């Protein structure tokens, strides 16, 4: 039986009943992640994950992405239930340092709950000393983290998106915060991966004032015990998780993604080529079923050019939405992984009765350098999405959330969007006439022919404007062709 004298809880008044952690709270971290929340969001951590200063944390055998997150911990002093923002800080008894360790190898199947990825024994060191909350200004606290003696995180509560008291007031709307409960208030930029033998230290203080002291944790190798795949999912990582854990692709040693599949020269030519001209050339080559029908630009005058990253929704079924719709689902994975120069193309079966994305996901795609978004479904928060600045073609606006009509199902697979088949890597071009899909192997040939046809059509238009009848000119007979070739040669 665990008691209040358990050494794991030496940095706290006792064993906390609840540990509530904030997902994203510092502007520096939000800018790093390319998304800024409008309101706080949270997850729970188990009290058995708490550890005292001077302890160790095991990195499980066969995993690679154990990341530290230095944080300010608030310890509730008096019960808070439906308290106002103005009164909330009075319910905080103490402030101290915490380290919200996470194992990104287990993150994908946690679906945002972080139960496995952040719930391990020793994954929440707290302490070593408590600062009386009444003795400090919550807007003037400093947070610093060191790894092997090097300062890697340095921020203050002035850099928070939300004031500390807001977490107390917000959470108290939903349940009673009881004495001893802990709120982990999020981490600033600088969180990264640590390996066995690394020593991580976190300190919360007021400059020239009270301090928590340094919370010290040493990373060690876990025992060589494999996870049991027969009872749960196994650890798995990809380059998206590596970049998130390390803080950036560069820090993870990953090359920046190229503008997928398009050379600068080809991209420039596609930017100058109208969809109607491309359609004409594809039809000459026997490809008629290449237009994504029923979609239009959210912002008139928008041009979109890029390679397809596909996302598939299936019709909503309540049990499947329960298993696939929440947490870190296929929709979120697609927007987190889209590369520079790619276009997210969404199969929504032409169903416009629900949104397939909103402003937060549009911001994420824009921050990652995506070339645009095409969906044959609806767009939620349409005005806000339009203001993000990323080209979006859709079936129209709709206020409903995803679960009304769709279940996010899969990414990077062959899909059907707007009546045409789209494969990952296909070239997508859109303008006022619509959106078209170009097989990559035909792109150079088609765009060169389309640009040549544009020159020819412009010359014909000049002749018509000068008063010539279209008979024999459009299309050109031998006489007009010879004249055109002669003038083109002179140019």
**What does the pLDDT profile of the chain (491 residues) look like in tens digits?**
344 579 999 999 999 999 999 999 999 998 887 778 889 999 999 999 999 999 999 999 989 999 999 999 999 999 999 999 999 999 999 999 999 999 999 987 787 789 999 999 999 999 999 999 999 999 999 999 999 999 999 999 999 999 999 999 999 999 999 999 999 999 999 999 999 999 999 999 999 999 999 999 999 999 988 788 888 888 888 888 898 899 988 898 887 654 456 889 999 999 999 999 999 999 999 999 999 999 999 999 999 999 999 999 999 998 888 888 887 888 999 999 999 999 999 999 999 899 999 999 999 999 999 999 999 999 999 999 999 999 999 999 999 887 889 999 999 999 999 999 999 999 999 999 999 999 999 999 999 998 888 877 788 888 888 888 888 777 778 887 788 777 776 65
Query: Is 27 in contact with 36 (CB distance < 8 Å)?
Result: yes
Q: How far apart are CA 179 and CA 286, in angstroms?
A: 73
For residue 112, how many other CB atoms are within 10 A of its CB? 14
Q: What is the pLDDT of residue 491?
A: 59
Please report which residue ranges of 3-113 form alpha helices under DSSP H: 27-33, 85-88
Specify the DSSP class assigned to residue 223: P
Query: Is 79 in contact with 179 (CB distance < 8 Å)?
Result: yes
Q: Is the four-CA dihedral 473, 478, 481, 482 of positive or negative sign?
A: negative
302-325 residues labelled b (16+ CB within 10 A) or e (exposed):
bbbbbbbbbbbbbebeeeebeebb
Say which residue the tokens 């309101």 belong to: 39
Peptide bond preceding 423 in cis form (omega within 30 of 0): no
Write out the CATH class of domain 7-246. Answer: alpha beta
Q: What is the pLDDT of residue 4?
A: 54
Q: What is the pLDDT of residue 20?
A: 97
Tokens of 253: 């040693």
Q: Where are the domains of the chain?
A: 7-246, 264-444
126: nearest Cα among 189, 185, 171: 185
343: nearest Cα among 324, 362, 328: 362
42-60 residues labelled b (16+ CB within 10 A) or e (exposed):
ebebbbbbbbbbebebbbb
Half-sphere CA count of 470, side-chain side, radius 13 A: 4
Specify the 3-state DSSP secondary structure of 39.
coil
Q: Would you state the CATH architecture of domain 264-444? A: 3-Layer(bba) Sandwich (3.50)
pTM over cut 0.85: no
Say which residue the tokens 């009943």 belong to: 17
Specify the DSSP class assigned to residue 11: T
Q: Is the four-CA dihedral 474, 479, 480, 484 of positive or negative sign?
A: positive
Query: Is 341 in contact with 307 (CB distance < 8 Å)?
Result: yes
373: nearest Cα among 398, 399, 346, 352: 346
Residue spans of beta strands (DSSP E) within 295-451: 296-297, 304-315, 342-347, 372-375, 392-394, 406-411, 415-417, 420-422, 427-431, 434-438
Tokens of 462: 């000049």
Specify the 3-state DSSP secondary structure of 269.
helix
């Amino acid at each position: 039986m665990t008691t209040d004298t358990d050494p794991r809880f030496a940095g706290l008044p006792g064993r906390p009943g609840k540990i509530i952690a904030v997902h994203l709270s510092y502007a520096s971290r939000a800018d790093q992640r390319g998304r800024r929340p409008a309101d706080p969001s949270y997850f729970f951590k188990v009290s058995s994950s708490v550890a005292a200063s001077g302890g160790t944390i095991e990195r499980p055998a066969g995993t690679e992405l154990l990341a530290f997150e230095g944080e300010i911990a608030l310890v509730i002093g008096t019960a808070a239930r439906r308290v106002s923002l103005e009164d909330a800080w009075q319910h905080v008894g103490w402030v101290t340092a915490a380290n919200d360790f996470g194992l990104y190898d287990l993150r994908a199947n946690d679906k945002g709950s972080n139960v496995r990825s952040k719930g391990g024994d020793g994954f929440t060191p707290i302490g070593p000393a408590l600062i009386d909350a009444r003795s400090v200004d919550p807007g003037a606290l400093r947070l610093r983290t060191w790894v092997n003696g090097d300062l890697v995180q340095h921020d203050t509560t002035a850099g928070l998106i939300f004031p500390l008291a807001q977490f107390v007031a917000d959470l108290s709307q939903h349940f009673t915060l009881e004495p001893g409960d802990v709120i982990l208030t999020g981490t600033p930029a600088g969180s990264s991966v640590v390996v066995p033998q690394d020593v991580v230290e976190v300190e919360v203080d007021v400059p020239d004032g009270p301090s928590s002291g340094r919370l010290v944790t040493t990373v060690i190798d876990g025992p060589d015990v494999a996870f049991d795949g027969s009872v749960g999912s196994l650890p798995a990582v990809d380059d998206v998780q590596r970049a998130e854990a390390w803080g950036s692709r560069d820090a993870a040693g990953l090359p920046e993604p190229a503008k997928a599949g398009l050379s600068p020269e080809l991209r420039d030519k596609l930017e100058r080529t109208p969809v109607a001209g491309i359609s004409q050339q594809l039809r000459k080559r026997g490809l008629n079923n290449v237009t994504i029908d029923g979609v239009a630009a959210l912002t008139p005058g928008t041009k979109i050019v890029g390679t397809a990253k596909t996302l598939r929704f299936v019709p909503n079924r309540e049990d499947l939405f329960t298993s696939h719709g929440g947490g870190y689902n296929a929709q979120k994975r697609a927007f987190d992984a889209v590369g520079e120069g790619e276009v997210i193309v969404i199969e929504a079966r032409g169903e416009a009765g629900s949104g397939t994305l909103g402003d937060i996901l549009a911001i994420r795609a824009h921050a990652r350098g995506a070339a645009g978004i095409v969906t044959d479904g609806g767009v939620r928060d349409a005005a806000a999405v339009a203001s993000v600045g990323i080209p979006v073609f859709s079936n129209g606006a709709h206020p409903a959330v995803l679960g009304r009509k769709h279940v996010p199902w899969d990414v990077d697979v062959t899909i059907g969007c707007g009546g045409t088949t789209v494969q990952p890597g296909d070239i997508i071009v859109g303008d006022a006439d619509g959106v078209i899909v170009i097989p990559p192997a035909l792109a150079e040939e088609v765009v060169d022919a389309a640009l040549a046809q544009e020159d020819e059509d412009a010359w014909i238009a000049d002749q018509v404007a000068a008063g010539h009848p279209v008979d024999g000119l459009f299309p050109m007979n031998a006489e007009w062709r010879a004249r055109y070739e002669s003038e083109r040669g002179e140019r």
